[in-house]
Amino acid sequence: MSVDQAFSLARTRYAALGIDAEAAVQAVLDIPISLHCWQGDDVSGHLFRDQALSGGIMATGSYPGRAQNAVQLRADLDMALSLIPGRHKLNLHAIYADTEEKVDLDGLTPRHFERWVEWAAPRGMGLDFNPTCFSHPMAASGLTISHADPSVADFWVRHCQVCRVIAMDLARQTGQTCVLNLWFPDGMKDTPADIAAPRARMAAALDRVFQSGTLPGVVETLESKVFGIGSESYVVGSNEFCLGYAATRNRGVCLDTGHFHPTESVADKIPTVLLYVPSLLLHLSRPVRWDSDHVVTLDDTVTSIAHTLVRTNTLAKTHIGLDYFDASINRVAAWVIGARNARLALLQALLEPVAAIQQAENAGDYTARLAITEQAKTLPWSAVWDYACAQAGVPTDWLDTVRAYERDILKVR
C-alpha cells in the first residue's frame, strides 16, 4: 500500500471522530523545533577548545566523527535537517562564536555570529541563544552570577548583557523570534550555611542584566535545576527562584525535562506556569536516574507534554527545543531521532479527539473520557506520520543515509 493510500484510509478514520488529519499534518510541520548545536561536538564550542567541561555538564562516550569546527558542525546539521520534517531553528551557546578573534565571553558581539546568520537565513531558520556560564575559569568556584566577589559576578553580568545584544541582532537578521535562555550552574556540593544570600545576589545581578527592559524580537527565559554534579546539595537557581523571579519581572521560564525529580510531571507544570509568566521554553531531554541528557524517545514524558500543550491550547505561548548530548552514538542520528520523536509526539497530540474527550469530561461522563482517550492511542497515526514526512520531502526510513554519511564523512575526520 502506498503512503497516499494509507493516509487516505487513516484520514477517513480520523474524520469519523471529527479530526482533520490533513490540517494536523500542516499544523505539526509548522511548529518550530530548535535543534541544539552542542549535540554535534559534545558541548566543546569554538572559543575555548582546551577548556574542560564544568558546571555539572558531562558528555559521555567516544563515538567517532565529532565535529571539530563550525564548518563541520554546520555540515552535520545540514545532514540532520534533511532527514527531519517540519520547521526548525538552531539553538546556539555563546561558546559557538565562529571567529578567528581572541575574545572572552564578556567581549562577544553580533559580528562573532555572522557566519551562523549567513547559514541560517537562506534556510529560513531562526536562531536561539544562550549565555555560556560554565567551562570557564571565572566559573571554577561553582558560582557565577551569584558569587560574593563582585569581580566574578560582574564578569557574568557583562556576559549576559552582551548576549542580550547578540540575541536582539539574531532576531533582527533572521526575522524570527530569538529565545534567550539563561541557565546558571551555581550551587554547592555540600550543604551551605547560608542558602539565602546567593539567591539574593543572583536576583540583584539579574536585575542588572535586564535593566534595559525587554528587547524587540527576543523572548527571555530562566532555567532552573534540581541538582548537578558538584551541586548535589544546593542549587541557587532553583525552580522556586526562577519561577518567582520570572513572574515578578515579566520574563519567561524554561522547563527542562531532565531538571526535576523523576516523579514530577513537567506536563502538569505547563498550564500552571503559564498562569503567571508570559512565555514558556521547553527543553526536551531524557534523564536516566539523573540529568544525564539522553536522546529524546517517544516515551510517556514527551507524549504527555505534547498532549498537554494541545489540550490546554498553550502551543502559541510555548517554544520547544532539544537539550541533550550523547557521545555514545552517531551524533547526527541523535539529532534526527530526538527531533523526529518530538514532532511525532506533537502530531499524535494534534490527532487526538480532544473535543470529544473534553465534552465527555464536561458532562461528567468519565467512563467515556477514559474510553475515548484509550481508543485514540490505537488510531492509525503512523500512516499520518509517513504522509507528513512525504509532504516535507524527507524519507521515512533514514538510517542508511546516516550510515553512508558516517562512512564517507564522519569516520575520515
- Residue appearing with cell numbers 461522563: 365
- Residue appearing with cell numbers 524580537: 217
> Which residue spans within 52-163 are E strands per DSSP?
88-93, 127-130
Catalytic residue, candidates 98, 293, 326, 386: 293
Query: In angstroms, rounded to a whole number, what is the distance separating the alpha carbons of residues 85 and 173?
Result: 24
Q: Let me know: does 325 contact 370? Beta carbons within 8 Å.
A: no
Q: Let me know: does 372 contact 360? Beta carbons within 8 Å.
A: yes
Cell representation of residue 293: 541528557
Active site residue 335: no
Catalytic residue, candidates 256, 326, 386, 406: 256
Active site residue 223: yes
Catalytic residue, candidates 159, 225, 294, 319: 225
Q: Is 35 helix (H, G, I), strand (E, B) or coil?
A: strand
Query: In angstroms, rounded to a whole number, what is the distance separating the alpha carbons of residues 289 and 165?
Result: 37
Angle (CA) 327 228 44, round 5°: 35
Region of residue 295 (phi > 0: left; psi between -120 and 50: alpha; otherwise: beta): beta
Burial of 344 (0-12, 13-18, 19+ CB in 10 A): buried
Active site residue 154: no
Active site residue 78: no
Q: Let me know: does 362 contact 24? Beta carbons within 8 Å.
A: no
Query: In angstroms, rounded to a whole number, what is the distance separating the alpha carbons of residues 37 and 335?
Result: 9
Catalytic residue, candidates 46, 147, 259, 269: 259
Query: In angstroms, rounded to a whole number, what is the distance separating the alpha carbons of residues 213 and 35?
Result: 28
Q: What are phi and psi of 256, to 5 degrees?
A: -100, 125
Active site residue 264: no
Catalytic residue, candidates 89, 93, 283, 319: 283
Active site residue 317: no
Catalytic residue, candidates 76, 323, 352, 386: 323
Catalytic residue, candidates 169, 220, 291, 406: 291
Active site residue 98: no
Cell representation of residue 112: 562573532
Query: CB 370: neighbour CB atoms within 10 A?
Result: 13
Catalytic residue, candidates 98, 186, 223, 352: 223
Q: Which helix (H) or strand (E) holds 309?
A: helix 300-311
Active site residue 183: yes
Active site residue 259: yes
Spatial CA neighbour of 285 closest among 308, 315, 255: 255
Spatial CA neighbour of 59 closest among 297, 262, 334: 334
Catalytic residue, candidates 119, 183, 335, 398: 183
Strand partners, 179: 219
Which residues are designated catalytic? Answer: 183, 223, 225, 256, 259, 283, 291, 293, 323
